Structure 1
Amino acid sequence: MAGGILVDFPSMGSACFFPSLESLLRDSTSRFLAAVSAAPDPDLTNFRSLFSRVLNTYPDPPLEAVWFFSALTFHDAPDDLRSILHLLSAFTSSSPGAAKPLALLAPVVSELFHSAKPRREIEALVEAVLSYISICSSRPAGGEVNADAGRLLPGFGELVKVWSVRNSRDRCPFQVLFPLVGEEARRELMKDGCSVTFLAGVVVAEAFLLRLCLKVQGVAGLPRSELQKELRIWAVSSISVFQNQQFFGVLLNMLVNPPLPVYSLLSADDEILVRDVLYDALILVDYSFLNGAEVDQADSSLLPIFVSRLVITLDAINDARGKGDQGRAMSFINAFSTSNIPIYLARWAARQAGTDQLGKPIAITPRAFLKWLVDLEDKGLKVFGENCSRIRERLMHDDPKNGYHYQSKMNHSDADLFFIDKQSHQEGIYTKGGEDEEAVEMETADNAFMAAAQSMKVTANGMRKRKDCGNEDASVVKFVKYKAEDSSVKDHFSSAATNGGMSSGSEVENPQSDDEMEETA
């Protein structure tokens, strides 16, 4: 259709020539919105005829054209969401990758969010959407090259109005169509040329979060700890199946920029529960699709994900400490120190600066690394972008000198024993020439945690006690698998950075049960 599109609208005037699909979509969107506002049940026959011909000219129709055509169908039967889901999936059978089929589902997820249908019916439809996402996610990575490289047309913002008109109520169309993501994600979607891959990640994140909220709503009488445990297992399993970096990054950004966009679905207490589940699922597990990353000057695609993960790890630690749960706080610290994030960030910084003489964090802890990256930002290395001021604020509130006392809230539990790395708690400390004051504080804190862990009871045969401990931390142990390293964290970090290799602490592949996910003693 490179030569343009000639359209005859008998009921709307003379024939029009459109130089591109984009110009046709803009004009059609304007006419559609005018027709809908003028009459509650407008005649859309001409639109259907036109876009049926347009779609038939493409072996793999553009997302925007499919969206407009499906909106016309949905306008006639606004309650038949299952038929729209089938229609959208039918148009993507020839797509080589997963991005476009997933991105097309955005209107369905939005309508499920706004729907007044019974919760059981909505749950069934959300499950159908997630099943379709799982099927698409299994497509070979080789097919993603062309599909994921695509960009949305500049008129995408106008097209959003077609699907949001029924629920707009004078609100921003993007807020209506994408109700379960934060403002940062919406701003990215509003940019001209936003990638189809990013839109797909947003859709998966919304469907995931909607199902998580429905699971919380549908439980009555189940103890909070049991519910949290079940939700963790479901969340980790889903993330492992989807294997989607953009989806993972969108979830991280929701936590980096609170509150979670679930206030219309959940109570304040339930929002805290969902946030805790996301902390566990996003921090405590090293997923295979985020491991083995190579850092070079041409590819830093994982940097935003790892930086966001670093930020929310610090938030999760502070949240756990605020609740007096030191076992949980130490699990987050240990998950960070044994992951490939410290190595990745150190190598990325060295590559960007063109030198290894950047100094080192004083310890392999989230706070130490975040402070180190802020210092590098002050020296001209762009790490956080427009979020730098918020990161500084986090560090200021997290400073131990501002009132936090590590030993004052010690909450001993058997879970502490599992997460503490006995080799790295001292060797992981870096000093700069002399005894850095902050390094001493970090070491004092580590020693306090270590002393608490060593004071815990063990079973008669010397095995660590893990079951029936009566503490919620035990459920964390059951779904996190770590590999013990032969060397200390410091040696692991230093040698990996020197040799140019990447290493990860662990992988979780589609965990199915508690027994499969429990670390053996």
Structure 2
Amino acid sequence: MAAGSIVVDFPSMGAALCFPSLDSLLRDSASGFLAAVSNAPAPGAADLTNFHRVFSRVLSAYPDPPLEAVWFFSALSFHDRPDDLRSLLQLLSAFTASSPGTAKPLALLAPVVSELFHADKPRRETETLVEAVLSYISICSNRSAPSSTVGATADAVSLLPAFGELVKVWSVRYSRERCPFQVLFPLAGDEARRELMKEGCSVDYLAGVVLAEAFLLRLCLKVQNATGVPRSELQKELKIWAVSSIPVFQNHRFFGVLLNMLLNSPLPVYSLVSADDEILLRDVLYDSLILVDYSFINNGVGVDLLPIYVLRLVITLDAVNDARRKGDQGRAVSFINAFSTSNVPNFLIKWATFQAGSGALSKPIANTPQSIIKWLVDLEVKGLKVFGDYSSCIMERFAYDGVKNGHGNMIHSDADLFFFDKQSGREFMDTKGSEDEAVDEMETAGNNAFMAAAQSMKGVTDGMRKRKSCGYEDATAVKFVKYKVEDSSLKDYLSAANGISSGSEVENPQSDDEMEESN
């Protein structure tokens, strides 16, 4: 961001005004924009000429214009031509050519994804635009710059404090009564929106949220188009697309946002699909995020893997319990096997041992998610604060919490969470003949004293710090009209890029390295 004051001319006012910073200019301009739009005699009739002139000059002063300035300028242009999403996408992408990182080009797309969610457009146009957004994201995600110091620094830059005012500018067309962050980020989920509301949130995190929203939107459209398709076939097709797309995006923030969505079920897709379809999408995400060992996650340079690995631990446990509730023992064992052979157990054991500061610390009896989480919670009960900010995330899995968010699925009691192999250290083999035997050998364990201690440590709040203007009810969310079209273009693109067709079997999805080798 340029330092020093900013002087801008307002010809119609016959005056030049001095602003101490770009942030103050954006705040005043956003306030003026909202007032002009409110006082206009009709939608789209506000006179925004002065703002156009000012921000044309502001943008020309930067070799790589700040995201917030680009957002405001594009909001002015979109106000003149509402619903022209193709032009909006082209305008936003034009400002990213000189950006050294990958985060800003993705973060800039938030208004496009929001408009695709809200706008009532013909079905084919919506599909085409969503595919265009994802294709653009794929291109940006494969830039080489983020590996450099300059690119990494650009991605880690914080959003200006005026970011919240820009959110209001982009949300004003739909509602002044709902939280602006709900309007602009309709598929982000409460946890992600709370993070975006924090001062100092990074452009990198915003990019991950936008990518997760575009990803979910595409999955929802595929579900809407699948009328008459058997559920098993649909789940297989969605899993193929998800597993093919995730390594193309190569985005740790995106991966973490999806894990957080699963942690706080139901998924934020209730205005687009039915409750049964939400369960289907959750199963697809469980399979895509747990069963595949993505190399870009394990090999992240300069990336804090702890939040992702902690979330993978808890989500795997949820997925195992969910599969067992549904009577799918083979799927439960597949989740356990995938976790046990991943990098997650060893990483968490080393990390917790370091946090505890004891080289003689006993190790878990096995690398299963049940054993790892029991071991870590036991350390917390003994007073070793190994989890820090993640303590409540873990402890809530040991509480009697009632019904989950209106879905009717009871959270398992503490004792039900502890089912693990009786033979210490045994590896479960995901073979056809031994799946049921392996699961049958798992038994529940736990003692009342330990559970009482874990229960007493659970936080008394769930971290829901709402802004005064932001409730989280979303009763007025707009639904897409359900439709069915041939979805060949994106399948062809993914087939060419990943060597996978929509008819492939993905009972045991490959890693992204294996996919590349197969090509």
| Conserved 8 A contact 2:52-2:76 | yes
What amino acid does structure 2 have at the position aligned with 1:176? V
Q: Which moved more, 1:13-22 or 1:236-245?
A: 13-22
1:65 positional shift: 0.4
> Are 2:21 and 1:14 aligned?
no
Q: Partners in 2 of 1:389 and 1:207 — Cα distance?
A: 29
Partner of 2:220: 213
Partner of 1:484: none
1:12 positional shift: 4.7
Q: Partners in 2 of 1:437 and 1:64 — Cα distance?
A: 53
| Conserved 8 A contact 1:64-1:156 | yes
CA displacement, residues 71-101 of structure 1 (integer Å, 9 cap, x when unaligned): 0000011110000000000000011111100
What amino acid does structure 1 have at the position aligned with 2:126? I
1:5 positional shift: 1.1
> TM-score, length-normalised on structure 1?
0.78
Distance 1:400 1:389, change over 3 A: closer
Distance 1:417 1:94, change over 3 A: same
Distance 1:351 1:44, change over 3 A: same
> Are 2:342 and 1:339 aligned?
yes
Partner of 1:393: 396
> TM-score, length-normalised on structure 2?
0.78
> Are 2:388 and 1:375 aligned?
no
Give 1:201's match in structure 2, choosing from 185, 208, 217.
208
Structure 1: 5+ residue runs without aligned partners?
A: 408-414, 430-435, 440-473, 482-506
Partner of 2:32: 31
Q: Partners in 1 of 2:226 and 2:189 — Cα distance?
A: 26
Q: Partners in 2 of 1:281 and 1:344 — Cα distance?
A: 21
Q: Partners in 1 of 2:433 and 2:220 — Cα distance?
A: 29
Seq. identity, %: 67
Distance 1:364 1:25, change over 3 A: same
> Are 2:172 and 1:142 aligned?
no
| Conserved 8 A contact 1:371-1:395 | no
Give 2:263's match in structure 1, choosing from 230, 250, 256.
256
1:46 positional shift: 0.5
Give 1:107's match in structure 2, choosing from 108, 111, 117.
111
Partner of 2:321: 318
Partner of 1:469: none
| Conserved 8 A contact 2:64-2:98 | yes
Q: Partners in 2 of 1:76 and 1:113 — Cα distance?
A: 20
Q: Partners in 2 of 1:2 and 1:77 — Cα distance?
A: 33
> Are 2:431 and 1:417 aligned?
yes
1:476 positional shift: 4.8
> Are 2:175 and 1:168 aligned?
yes
Partner of 1:442: none
Partner of 2:50: 46
1:310 positional shift: 0.8
Q: Partners in 1 of 2:514 and 2:417 — Cα distance?
A: 41
**SS of corresponding position for 1:6:** strand
1:437 positional shift: 5.9
1:390 positional shift: 5.0
| Conserved 8 A contact 2:65-2:95 | yes
**SS of corresponding position for 2:214:** helix
1:124 positional shift: 0.6
What amino acid does structure 2 have at the position aligned with 1:2? A
Distance 1:146 1:510, change over 3 A: farther
**SS of corresponding position for 2:18:** strand
Partner of 1:459: none
CA displacement, residues 383-431 of structure 1 (integer Å, 9 cap, x when unaligned): 262x534533323554584599999xxxxxxx95169799x999x99xx
Distance 1:59 1:389, change over 3 A: closer
> Are 2:353 and 1:350 aligned?
yes
**SS of corresponding position for 2:512:** coil
| Conserved 8 A contact 1:238-1:510 | no
Distance 1:437 1:137, change over 3 A: closer
| Conserved 8 A contact 2:290-2:339 | yes
Larger Rg: 1
What amino acid does structure 1 have at the position aligned with 2:266? P
Q: Partners in 2 of 1:203 and 1:353 — Cα distance?
A: 37
> Are 2:126 and 1:122 aligned?
yes
CA displacement, residues 92-115 of structure 1 (integer Å, 9 cap, x when unaligned): 001111110000000000000001
**SS of corresponding position for 1:8:** strand
CA displacement, residues 150-186 of structure 1 (integer Å, 9 cap, x when unaligned): 1100111111101011012410001110110111111
Partner of 1:235: 242
Q: Partners in 2 of 1:403 and 1:192 — Cα distance?
A: 37
1:381 positional shift: 2.0
> Are 2:71 and 1:71 aligned?
no
1:258 positional shift: 1.1
1:219 positional shift: 1.1
Structure 2: 5+ residue runs without aligned partners?
A: 400-410, 422-428, 448-503
Distance 1:418 1:48, change over 3 A: farther
Distance 1:108 1:95, change over 3 A: same
Distance 1:206 1:122, change over 3 A: same
Q: Partners in 2 of 1:508 and 1:2 — Cα distance?
A: 43
